[in-house]
Structures are given as structure tokens and as C-alpha cells.
Amino acid sequence: MKGSGAEILIDEVVDVKRDEKIVITAGGERIAYDKLIISTGSVPGIPPIPGIDMDNIFPIEKNAESLKKVMERLKEASNLVIVGGGFIGMEFADECRKSFKAKITVVEMLPHPLMLNFDEELCIAAEEIEKKMGVDIIAPERVESFIGNGKVKGVRLASGKEIEADMALIATGYVPNTKLAEKIGLEIGPTKAIKVDRYMRTNDENIFACGDCAEKFSFFDGKPSNLRLASIAAMEARIASANLFGPRRMNEGVIGVFSTILSGTVFALAGLSEREAKAKGYEITVGKWEGVNRHPGSMPEAENLKLKLIFEKGTGVILGGELMGAKSGGEIINIIGAAISKRMTAEEMARFQMGTHPALTASPIAYPIPNAAEMACIGP
């Protein structure tokens, strides 16, 4: 950054004088600006659970100092409870069971972990994988309160059951960090994020916002969205910077491209799941494919992969895709995300041209994307 001519100041912005176009820092700096970008990110959403302020209960924060403290406490923990079975909770459970001796229990409000993102069959598969590895998953269930006297000793569930716990992690998601934006009078949208237009401009023409603190809207219906991903933040930063001195690049809305890996198995989604598409009122056609990601299947590093593509019936336009299995799925889902952004049809995706190699990809006659699309074209 410095090599590109940028000046980096390690400090905290405590105020912005919009009428003077001055940023004020905790260290007393007064910095003039022509255009300002706010990218204050997000902070853990802390549920109002009685006892949550006891010792050895930690929110999962995005800073090294906090995580270092969590790692130190995990070395001594015997019974760890993770509140929340989303990406953060499940990934922490997976890593903790590899590195620490503690018995791990995940408590999730929905019927299965990861259900905010994936269709049920993938959620059940992820749950079964982690259970086989020794992680206890309790769902659907809710934490009623934490038990202890200054330091956590257990968790009481809504069902009345009590679980022993000498440490707990709160993985109930993140909320936009809008403290500064609200202080300086920027408009806040319905998802409690900074309201922006399609050029990432706030209600102040000289102030832009991007990343987790900025409001999102759906690629599919234009409605406000709670999706917050690093990949979305990076895209929004490119859009905001391109538009600082004139509108050049427009945000078409968030598609939502997710991936995670649990015990060596990738789970990924781009766009709408089958459940979400139906909930939004789409009539859909589904195409499925299952096979190996090398050819022949006896090649070293060959792994199984399952892919499902969801298309709008009638138009054939792709709405989403889900997969599980091979690590190569992490890039295949990005291709599907690109196809969604261009509103490709099943017929077009069945004609998808790809490069293949025995040691790198599935067979050209069994490549996941065109084969799943072909199944959708053929129909049930």
C-alpha cells in the first residue's frame, strides 16, 4: 500500500465533521477529505442470554488479540459449548475438535446446522460428518441461560436440560458496525446497515460505504439482504473506489457465494438454494450430477462430488447451485456464481466449454456443470 503512494495511519476515527469535510481521530489528528469511504465492518451480535457476561464466555471476534485469548483458554477447557451452528460455529467446532481435548457441543436453534444457507440434505450431511468426529450437536434447541457463579459452569436449554460447560463461544452471527455512521447522521437502512445506493453512495454525496457496515440488496429481487461476506466486501470496495469522482460502476446486488470445509468435505452454495427459490415464488427445475473430480476415478486425489443446479422453469435461467464433496468444489461454485450473474440458462450451461486434465478435473464427458445442466434440460 505504501509503495502505491497510500499513507497508513493506525488510529481510530471518533468523529467526522461533514460540513467541514474533516475526519477527527482519537489521537487528535484532523484529516481533510474530498471523498470519504466508511468500511467499519461488523461486530459480533450478542444475544441477551442471562449470564452471558460470566468469565470464560467469549464472542468470536475478528481480531488476533481476542482469538489468542480464546486459544489459550481452550487449552484448559474440558467441556466447550458453542452457541450457534452457522458457518462460524461449525468451523470452530471442527477446528477445536482437531486441536483441543475438550468435549464439544454445538447448540443450534434451527432443525440442523447451516440451515440458513443450505438445503436440508447438505445440512444433514454436515451434521452427520461432525457427529462422527465426536462433536455433539443439539438441534433444534435454544440456550435459555448460562449457569455459574462468576465463571460459567454450564448451560441451561429451553427444554430444561442442562449441559456441563467450563467454556462457551458465542457464534450467533455478526451485525453491521454503524456506530460512527449513526453519530455523524448517515441514514441507516432496514437491515440496520448504512443505507447506500447502487454506486455505494450514502445520503451524503461525498461519503461512500462498503463492506459489512453497508446495506446489501438481493440480485434476485432487489430487496434488502443480510448477506455479509468478505467476497462481497471486496466487490463493494472496487465499486466504491471506481465511483468516487463520478458514477462508473454499478452494484447489481448480492448473489451470495458461500463455501466451507468440515472434516475435509466441502459444502458450497451460489445464489438461491432450492428451498429459498421456492420461498421467493419461483417455479423451478433441478438438475443433479454425482461423480469424481478426476479421470479416471482411480487417479490419486480423486474425490467424490455432488452438484445440484436450480433453474427457473420456463425461462431456464439459473437461480442457484449447491455442492458437497471434493475440494475442487470451492472453485466450481465460483463458476456457478458467475453464471448466475450473467443469467445463463440451462441450455447455455449444457454447452459450457471447459478445459480438462486427468490429474486436475473430472472427465470432459462427466464434467459437473454441463452434466447437471443437461439433467435439468431433460427434466424429471
Q: What structural domains does the chain harbor? A: 1-33 (no CATH), 57-174 (3.50.50.60), 178-254 (3.50.50.60), 258-378 (3.30.390.30)
Q: Flag whether pLDDT at 65 surpasses 80.
A: yes
Q: What percent of the chain has pLDDT over 90?
A: 96
Which residue, chain included where needed, has cell 434440460? 377
Q: Flag whether pLDDT at 379 surpasses 90.
A: no
Q: Are 96 and 74 in contact (CB under 8 A)?
A: yes
Q: SS3 breakdown of the chain: % helix, strand, coil, rounded to 5?
A: 25, 30, 45
The residue type found at 359 is A
Q: How far apart are CA 195 and CA 247, in angstroms?
A: 17
Question: Looking at residue 155, what is its pLDDT?
Answer: 98
CA atoms within 13 A on the CB side of 110: 16
pLDDT band at 2 (very low <50, low <70, confident <90, very high): confident
Average pLDDT over residues 70-86: 98
Q: Flag whether pLDDT at 61 surpasses 80.
A: yes
Question: Looking at residue 1, what is its pLDDT?
Answer: 73
Question: Looking at residue 52, what is its pLDDT?
Answer: 98
Average pLDDT over residues 88-109: 97
Pairing of strands 30-32, 36-38: unpaired
Q: Flag whether pLDDT at 297 surpasses 90.
A: no
Q: How far is CA 171 from CA 45, 135, 153, 282, in A?
A: 8, 16, 19, 32
Question: Looking at residue 6, what is its pLDDT?
Answer: 87
Nearest Cα neighbor of 168 from 105, 111, 112 is: 105
pLDDT digits (tens, 9 = 90+) for 246-261: 999 999 999 999 999 9
pLDDT digits (tens, 9 = 90+) for 18-46: 999 999 999 999 999 999 999 999 999 99
pLDDT digits (tens, 9 = 90+) for 179-210: 999 999 999 999 999 999 999 999 999 999 99
Average pLDDT over residues 232-244: 98
Averaged confidence pLDDT in the chain: 96
For the chain, first and last CA: distance in Å? 54
pLDDT digits (tens, 9 = 90+) for 144-159: 999 999 999 999 999 9
pLDDT band at 227 (very low <50, low <70, confident <90, very high): very high
Question: Looking at residue 253, what is its pLDDT?
Answer: 98
Average pLDDT over residues 138-143: 98
Q: Flag whether pLDDT at 321 surpasses 90.
A: yes
Average pLDDT over residues 66-85: 97
Question: Looking at residue 27, what is its pLDDT?
Answer: 97
Cβ neighbours of residue 96 closer than 8 Å, sequence gap 6 or more = 74, 80, 102, 104
Q: Flag whether pLDDT at 380 surpasses 90.
A: no
